[in-house]
Amino acid sequence: MKPHILVIDDNPDVIKALTVLFHLEDIRCSGATSQEEGLALLDRQDFDLVIQDMNFTSDTVSGEEGILLFKQIRAQFVDLPIILLTAWANLETAVQLVKAGAADYLAKPWDDDKLLITVKNLLELHQLQQQQQQVTQDKKQRLQNLTDNFNLCDLQFASDNMLQLLEISTQVATADVPVLITGPNGAGKEKIAEVVQANSRVKDAPFIKVNIGALPNDLMEAELFGAEAGAFTGNTKRRIGRFEAANKGTLFLDEIGNLSMEGQKKLLRVLETGEFERLGSTQTQRVSVRVLSATNADLQEAIAKGDFREDLYYRINLIELRLPPLNERKPDILPLAKYFLEGERGLTDEAEQLLSQYHWPGNVRELQNTIKRAMLLSNDQQITAASLGIKLDTANSRKTGDALNKQDILSALEENDYVIAKAAKSVNISRQAFYRRMEKFSISPISTN
């Protein structure tokens, strides 16, 4: 659809000249010769830009009529770009209105080329802003849908990639299929498993968690599959394994990459048939268990080394949920930090900035420990940057200027709800420079992947 401009000027010749000029550039143009007519047109039609005069009464040069019209338009249409056409006597007034939110001002008589450049730039910016608003609105609707229809287990997040991950997690939760959750240590894989279980068909059945990485190799199989009395030294009575305990429910196997080859063999059998034997027994046990697995290891590499069974990998990996590290979802940092504060303390602006800029190699677990330590060591009502006890790695802190890469721009957009002015300010460049980098990296507010 062609962009549509409204020109409000008491001189019909001005309207006619601009209409012809814009028509040659394939831009629609409508005109109004009074403030009242202009406001009425704005109420009835959608416009992408307004060009308004500053005086509408003969022999009037104060610009007060233009100021009033500008304020009336701005009150109703907060984001609509407005260009002021002004005579030399109104130049100072026009500059003040630009500071108050007008897009630009041009002196009469105007230069056609300069006017066209200004108009085209503003139309492009306005279109991007509308797209950004739609993105923000869509995100809020998606989030509302999640919170209204699913149990998110009090998970704190604000990033797009966590929103997308949770949408997938809740979608697959009701399917009785194994799920593999991958991601670095401390990122929150167990929390994602909780969300899947809480929205599953067996949410009220047992939910058993076991950290395989914390189990000694010689006890791992007994912990998972159980053992008869005397099956190994010190075992004086029958032990019920985690699979039996989770029967009719869900079993979460954290750090599954550490499972022994014999354990992998038995796990594969359980997944395929629901059958296993306790250690020291020949009696087959039958269970119905949904298995959720998690790992920070590269299982494909482990398969290549012969440390992990390929057939088991494909059995547990019917659905993979990849949890990004915290530094790839920076908008989650402050919601998580405030959650860990438990409403007891606040954060100074400097503390918030430091938390947002820090790289968090230990992910959410490191953030939680940092906040807990700061609460213990500080008696102030507000947690300060100094009390956090962390230092920025200059190699990982936010870059500015030409050093900005695509991920920097995407993160800035996401952290600032796709408001270009805020995103540009956060990386210390102008709004126009920020737009140029968006264009350079082919970043659209509609799809920032």
Beta-sheet pairing, 49-53 with 82-86 = parallel
pLDDT value at position 399?
Answer: 55
The per-residue pLDDT for range 31-60, each reduced to its tens digit, is 999 999 999 999 999 999 999 998 888 777
What is the distance between the alpha carbons of residues 336 and 162, in angstroms, rounded to a whole number?
13
Q: Which of 3-17, 36-50, 115-129, 320-334 has the lowest mean pLDDT?
A: 115-129
How remote is the C-alpha of 142 from its chain's centroid? 12
Contact 418, 444 (CB under 8 A): no
Asked if 348 and 384 count as a contact pair (C-beta separation under 8 A), the reply is: yes
Average pLDDT over residues 144-156: 96
Beta strands in 72-148 (DSSP E): 82-86, 104-107
Arithmetic mean of pLDDT, 2-18: 95
**In the structure, what pLDDT confidence band is assigned to residue 193 with cuts at 50, 70 and 90?**
very high
| Least confident window among 173-177, 328-332, 360-364, 396-400 | 396-400
CA 89 to chain centre: 48
CA distance 307 to 240: 27
The β-bridge partners of 292 are 179, 252
The helix (H) or strand (E) run that includes residue 392 is none
Distance from C-alpha of 323 to C-alpha of 335, rounded to nearest angstrom: 17
Using the 8-state DSSP alphabet, how is residue 60 labeled? -
The answer on pLDDT for 238 being more than 80 is yes
- Tell me the C-alpha distance between 363 and 230, whole Å: 43
Calpha distance 91→75 (Å, rounded): 23
Which of 70-84, 247-261, 409-423 is the least confident region?
409-423
Residue 448 has a pLDDT of: 39
Across 64-68, 148-152, 281-285, the highest mean pLDDT is recorded for 148-152
d(CA 336, CA 330): 10
Of the candidates 81, 15, 16, which has an alpha carbon nearest to the alpha carbon of residue 47?
81
Report the percentage of the chain scoring pLDDT > 90: 62
Per-residue pLDDT band for 88 (boundaries 50, 70, 90) equals: low
